Amino acid sequence: MSERTISGRVWVLVDANGRLIEDIDTDQIFHNAHLHITDPAEMGPHSLGNLDGWKDFPKRCAAGDIIVAGRNFGAGSSRQQAVDCFIALGLAAIVAPSYSAIYFRNAVNTGFPVLRARNLETLVAAGSLVSGDRIECGIETGAARIVGREARLDLEPMSPVQLEIFRAGSLFAYGAGPG
126 pLDDT higher than 90: yes
Q: Return the H-helix or E-strand segment holding 111.
A: none
Q: Which domain holds residue 103?
A: 5-176
Cα–Cα distance between 45 and 119 in angstroms, integer? 30
How many domains, the chain?
A: 1
Please give the pLDDT value at position 61: 98
Cα–Cα distance between 92 and 22 in angstroms, integer? 21
3 pLDDT higher than 90: no
Query: What's the pTM?
Result: 0.95
Please give the pLDDT value at position 129: 97
| Percent residues over pLDDT 90 in the chain | 93
Beta pairing, strands 114-117 & 134-138? unpaired
CATH number at residue 54: 3.20.19.10
Cα–Cα distance between 88 and 53 in angstroms, integer? 21
1 pLDDT higher than 50: no
